[in-house]
Every structure is written in C-alpha cells, then in structure tokens.
Amino acid sequence: MEGPGVLVIKRRLSFLIGSKVIAIVGNSKTPKEVLLNRTLTDIFSQGKELFLVFDDVAVRIHFLMYGSYSINREREGKVPRISATFMMPEGKEVCVNFYNTSVRFLASAALPVNSSVDILSEKFDIRQAVERIKSSPRIISDILLDQSAFAGVGNIIKNEALFLAKIHPENVGFKIPEEMASELVNKILFFSKVFLEFRQKNRRLREVLTVYNRKYCPLCGGRISIKYIGESRRRTFYCNSCQILY
C-alpha cells in the first residue's frame, strides 16, 4: 500500500479519537494487551505507516504490499494481525481489524516527526528532495522507493512519476539534469494527489494510470517494457522511446 492509501485510512479512522480500547485480539506477537482501557489520543500517517497514539504508547502499522483493514466486519478466512474494539464516548462499540500488516509498539516520545520527506505532507521539502536525487549514485528507481527519502512512494507512484517526467528508470541519480530532477519531484507530488483523490472516492486507479500495467505507450504507441531492476527488484514499466537515459 502506498502513501495515499494510508492517508485515506487515517482519515476514515479519525472518528475513533477519544475512544477507549475495551478488547484486543489478533495473531500479532506484540504486547497488544497493554492497550486495554487506554484511550486513543491521536492518529496520523507518515508515508506508508499508520500510527495510533495512546498517551505514552503508540502502535505503528505498516501495510506492506497487501495490507488491509475493516470496520465492524471480519474478512472470511482471514485472521487479523490485530483487532481492537473501541468504546465510543456515546457508548457505541466499533471494531477495527488490520490484516497482513506489520505491527510494532513504540513509546510516543519516539514517534517520527520528519514530515519533510512525506510526499503528502505540506512540509515536504522539494529542494531537499531534488538534492537527494542529484547527490545519489543509486539508480532513480531505488532512490524513489527509499522511504527515508520519499516516504509514501510505492511502485505505482514510482512508475507513473518517471513516465510523466520522461525519465528512464535506470538513470543514476546524479546524472539526471537538475531541471529534470525537479520535474520528477513535481510529478511525484502531482500524481500522489491524483492517487489520493481516487482512493478517497473509491474509484479505480486504473482510470488514470499511463504506464503501470499497460501494454502500449500512450505517447508513441510503442510496446511498454517490463523489467525487474535495481536493488529493490520491483517490476518496472517504462517506454524506451519516450523516457530518456542520461
């Protein structure tokens, strides 16, 4: 799951702030019982991670590639990693289940605050993002998937932004002209907002995908190349004709 999807979940669960945990189960081996009778004081996302904050302790939920959640509904044949039942201030019970996720507990004082790398944050630093690209000897596909540099970028955003900026995915970071690195960062932010809008409206993202899982280039009509590249070995879609290798 990519940043926009996690932000949508954060927004949909925010109504639980102020509610108390009255039951908690799941197959996570974390000390989840410490949440019993604790009140949810905040919920926020950063990149691909969701944070549920309870005074001095917090739960970090990473949705990995296939993570999901449900409210007041169990998914047949699936055991939740963590399932928390909340008592709302007005007396209503709400059960939230998280599936196929990584769950970790941490002290509230250790919560991340570096929103300057979060692509959906108003504090995202464009200048620093361009510098991270220009100073790196890694290929751009790996740079974009590095969550310490571009929190929230996943394989879909990576592919789409590179195509929109007409940058070949095997480019080495420092070889990309500065103006093109800046264009790429702008395309990341642009497509991330489109991604977020479609997720919020429960619309199919395929409607706006230009290269990801496509067979032909929408610009030249040529065949889209598919390759597992870089350290991440993630499936990459690109047009050899339209995307430039510097």
User: Residue 153 and residue 146: Cα distance in Å, rounded?
Assistant: 8
Q: What is the CATH number of the domain that holds 51?
A: 3.20.190.10
Is the same domain home to 77 and 52? yes
Say how far apart CA 220 and CA 17 lie, in whole Å.
Answer: 50
Residue 176, pLDDT score: 98
- Tell which of 76, 94, 110 closes a domain: 110
Q: Which of 75-89, 154-168, 209-223 has the lowest mean pLDDT?
A: 75-89
pLDDT value of position 113: 76
The domain boundary residue, chosen from 110, 125, 150: 110
Q: What is the mean pLDDT of residues 5-32?
A: 95
Q: Determine the Cα–Cα distance for residues 198 and 2; give it in Å rounded to an integer.
A: 13
Q: Which of 179, 138, 140 is nearest to 163 (CA)?
A: 140
Do 19 and 39 meet the contact criterion of CB atoms below 8 Å apart?
yes
Same domain flag for 17 and 57: yes
Q: What is the mean pLDDT of residues 89-115?
A: 90
Instruction: Indicate the pLDDT class of residue 109, thresholds 50, 70 and 90.
Output: confident
Please check the confidence at residue 77 and state whether its pLDDT lies above 90: no
**DSSP-assigned letters across all residues of the chain:** --HHHHHHHHHHHGGGTT-EEEEEE-S--S-GGGGTTPBP-EEEEETTEEEEEETTEEEEEE-TTT-EEEES-PPTT---SEEEEEE-TTS-EEEEEEES-EEEEEEGGG----GGGBTTSTT--HHHHHHHHHT--SBHHHHHH-TTTSBT--HHHHHHHHHHTTB-TT-BGGGS-HHHHHHHHHHHHHHHHHHHHHHHTT--GGGG-SSTT-SB-TTT-PBPEEEEETTTTEEEEE-TTTSB--
Distances (CA, A) of 27 to 32, 153, 201: 10, 28, 31
Report the pLDDT value the prediction gives residue 114, as an integer from 0 to 100.
76
pLDDT band at 80 (very low <50, low <70, confident <90, very high): very high
Q: Are 159 and 172 within one domain?
A: yes
- What is the count of structural domains for the chain? 2
Cα separation of the two ends of the chain: 30
**In CATH, what number is assigned to the domain containing residue 167?**
1.10.8.50
Q: Per-residue pLDDT for 162 more than 90?
A: yes
pLDDT computed for residue 89 by the predictor: 92
Residue range 186-197: mean pLDDT, rounded: 97
Domain coverage including residue 124: 115-238
43 within a domain of the structure (yes/no): yes
Residues 232 and 120 in one domain: yes
CA distances from 102 to 73, 186, 216, 238 (A): 20, 30, 36, 31
